Chain A
Amino acid sequence: DQQVKQNSPSLSVQEGRISILNCDYTNSMFDYFLWYKKYPAEGPTFLISISSIKDKNEDGRFTVFLNKSAKHLSLHIVPSQPGDSAVYFCAASALQGSNYKLTFGKGTLLTVNP
């Protein structure tokens, strides 16, 4: 059973427009959510996160929204740039003992066209 779901395998947008990537989760114990960006042949890099006590977190062009009642989060990129083209992974975490373990979605390939 997939606890973190990214239902769109791919998304294509025009440069300068908004990119919206979506993520759903099923485990109510998750209390921290993260987005990672991955270029080919590189490791994932942390992009932005949000705690379950918030509903929005913003960092420059990137904003993450969390709707706890719907168990849904989204990543908004405005304006989108060609360099944003990458695979974006949604991840969720719950503290277990002294350790955080991340559960990842399958990823969404974002292509930003010039």
Chain B
Amino acid sequence: NAGVTQTPKFQVLKTGQSMTLQCAQDMNHNSMYWYRQDPGMGLRLIYYSASEGTTDKGEVPNGYNVSRLNKREFSLRLESAAPSQTSVYFCASSTDSPEAFFGQGTRLTVV
């Protein structure tokens, strides 16, 4: 079992470029999440999806869009990257319980 898989692991973007972070889980979980982790800030929720076809904003959604493509996949898109979006991004999934399982993370640098 791979669990939660994120691609890419590292990315450098120029300001204004766009990109999509991919996430897939093989645990048949209904809920999926995108978090960002910044130094001294803990993990903050960007968007989440309670089930296939639904998405909702979290604490810091500005500058991002998401797509729940199917039950397995939940992607995060930056339409026009800004230096403030330099961060480590984590995808997570959970079943009908609070315990979420996290991917390895994507380290994004916007220059």
Interface residues of chain A, those whose CB is within 8 Å of chain B, are 4, 6, 9, 32, 34, 36, 41-46, 49, 89, 93, 97-107
Contact = CB atoms under 8 A, between A and B. Distances in A.
Given A104-B42, A106-B40, A106-B42, A43 B58 contact: no
Interface in B39-64: 40-45, 48, 50-51, 56, 58
A53 to B, nearest CB: 14
Contacts of B100: 46, 100, 102
Q: What band does the interface of chain B fall in when counting residues whose beta carbon is under 8 Å from A?
A: 20 to 34
A6 to B, nearest CB: 8
A112 to B, nearest CB: 22
A100 B42 contact: no
A43 B98 contact: no
